[in-house]
A = this chain, B = another copy of it.
């Protein structure tokens, strides 16, 4: 039976990744770790035996002890302070909770000589300062990180390469574009919109929503497609290689908001909060998924409209349940 260590276990990507593993036809043992207990509904059932341990990955000794004991076959490293906005407010904490925690993890694998495959999740933010002519972004595009978060992700990726080439670790790297889906926390932009619209629909908020810069364009991909890609990369990705995970299409935040507005049948004013505008931002990011499509056979299956509808439904339910508590 294969053993998976999944970090960031209380996050929404872990939730969906476990759902993905539950579709496989063999038994899997999972040790989920994160700083806080997951409040999402994840439990042992079907082919999955799941345990959870609370751990702070910034603590080298804790993670070293854990790996020495658990010796996983796969490490799916989902732990991250992944908000660009948060990283501008707390650059040191963001850096520690991205680069340093990853470094502690791979160093423990090296020290204890654990023969395992590691999935290192990176971000489209690594590409940074991009001109129109450079789109769509391919894995060989230059990296010009613009935010503390983006720097942290590039650092993580460079360190992965050193550990593969210099120490022989087995690490597959992604640059995951903006993934969206149910169970994401509402300090991210799409769930923040969805939650506000749900409140308006249910008469719990005045018909006004607060937004940042709506003109920025991102390549959105549904988290259910993302975790499928992660699983396929673990199975057949090439060690030391980097893979874009994206849809090949760009949509503005304004586009997303309009899809959501139409689906929820709400009407509202828009107020711009300058605190939500970041010091520096990439106006347009669109990726190419040609590499992962050709090498691994992955392509996204859920389009933006479907994805946004799922998210809207999810938040309407969350808001309803909270209101009735």
Contacts and interface: CB of A to CB of B under 8 A. Distances in A.
B155 A99 contact: yes
A137 B170 CA distance: 31
Interface residues of A, number: 28
Contact of A151 (B104, B155, B279): B155
A165 B146 contact: yes
A162 interface: yes
Interface in A114-164: 142, 145-148, 150-151, 154-155, 158-159, 162
A147 B147 CA distance: 24
A92 interface: yes
A142 to B, nearest CB: 7
A279 B165 CA distance: 8
Contacts of A92: 60, 103-104, 107
Query: Chain A's interface: helix, strand, loop or mixed, by majority?
Result: helix
A158 B162 contact: no
Interface of A: 60, 88, 91-92, 95-96, 99-100, 103-104, 107, 142, 145-148, 150-151, 154-155, 158-159, 162, 165-167, 279-280
Copies of this chain assembled into the complex: 2
B146 A162 contact: yes
B155 A158 contact: yes
Query: Sorted from nearest, which 9 A-B pairs have the closest CB atoms?
Result: A155-B155, A166-B279, A151-B158, A166-B280, A92-B107, A151-B159, A145-B158, A151-B162, A92-B103
A162 B145 contact: yes
A142 B147 CA distance: 20
17 contacts: A88-B166, A91-B162, A92-B103, A95-B159, A96-B100, A145-B158, A145-B162, A146-B162, A146-B165, A147-B162, A147-B166, A148-B159, A148-B162, A151-B155, A154-B155, A155-B155, A165-B279
Contacts of A147: 162, 166
A159 B87 CA distance: 12
A106 to B, nearest CB: 9
Contacts of A145: 158, 162
Contacts of A280: 162, 165-166
A84 to B, nearest CB: 11
A108 B88 CA distance: 14
A263 B6 CA distance: 60
A115 to B, nearest CB: 18
Contacts of A142: 142
Nearest to A279: B166
